[in-house]
Amino acid sequence: MSAHASSVALVERRRVFTRLACRALDLIIASAVLLICLPILLAACALIRLESPGPAIFRQRRLGRDRRAFTVHKLRTMRLAADTQVHRNYIEDLISGSEQTHSDGERDLYKLANDDRVTRVGRVLRRTSLDELPQLFDVLRGPMSLVGPRPVIPYEAELYPADYNRRFAVKPGLTGLWQVSGRSECSYREMVALDISWAESYSVGSYISIVARTPKVLLHSRGAA
């Protein structure tokens, strides 16, 4: 075997080890967090049902690794049958670089300021990121990881330039490099660059570092999408 072939084989073994190790951590950590947060999840579901009719869990198609579609689960934060066109338009502005700032001067990717589609309970869930809790089941099922790029909405991916597709090399995650790197201060292009950086160079060490940094970030920032 040539030196080049040996080097390629070594890199591939490292990738396989990293993938298996991260999967094992996904299962252990997600299971533990679900057990701890189950009373919060059940209470949130009850509050959602009390405030507005309809299911407490919101399901949406997203794109994961290799652009494979899967169903993501979140706590419902909007009224039923909310119009999605306003969000489509906002995403288009984000990708083109013409997104608007919030009225208070802050900008938070994916979250529209003064969105009247969101319920009162939903605003609290988004602000605390508790609406993301059901995605722990998606981690256990396999289409998501705890750490990775944000799962992309299909109509969002339709607007992507070719180089953005590099973020689909890994599973999407509940948290990631963007989320712990000042997500509300990042432009869409900067967010994608961070996602691609993770996809092309992730390791067990960086996985553990991001998971460890996430609780502090959640205490000081708004929810993700």
Q: Which segments of 55-143 does DSSP mark as H helices, in order?
A: 85-96, 120-128, 135-141
Bridge partners of residue 180, in order along the sequence? none
Residues of the chain with pLDDT under 70: 1-11, 82-83, 98-114, 183-184, 221-225
pTM for the predicted model, two decimal places: 0.86
How far, in whole angstroms, is CA 70 from its chain's centroid?
A: 13
Give the Å distances, CA to CA, from 167 to 40, 58, 105, 142.
32, 25, 29, 18
E strands along the chain, which residues?
57-63, 69-75, 145-147, 173-175
> Considering the chain, what is the average pLDDT of its residues?
86
pLDDT value of residue 177: 92
pLDDT of 75-99, one tens digit each? 999 888 766 777 788 888 888 776 5
Q: How many Å apart are CA 62 and CA 41, to the nearest integer?
A: 22
Give the pLDDT of residue 208.
96
pLDDT value of position 92: 84
pLDDT of residue 114: 63
Paired strand residues for 72 = 60
Residue 37 confidence (pLDDT): 95
Alpha-carbon distance of 23 to 45, in angstroms, equals 28
The span from the CA of 145 to the CA of 135, in Å, is 9
pLDDT (tens digit, 9 = 90+) per residue, 38-78? 999 999 999 999 998 999 999 999 999 999 999 999 999 98
pLDDT of residue 104: 39
Across the strands, what pairs with 18?
none
Task: State phi, psi for 173 to the nearest 5 degrees.
Answer: -135, 165
Contact between residue 221 and residue 186 where contact means Cβ atoms under 8 Å apart: no
Which pLDDT score is estimated for 15? 86
State the Cα–Cα distance between residues 212 and 225, nearest whole angstrom: 20
Instruction: Determine if residue 75 is left, alpha or beta; phi over 0 gives left, psi from -120 to 50 gives alpha, anything else beta.
Output: beta
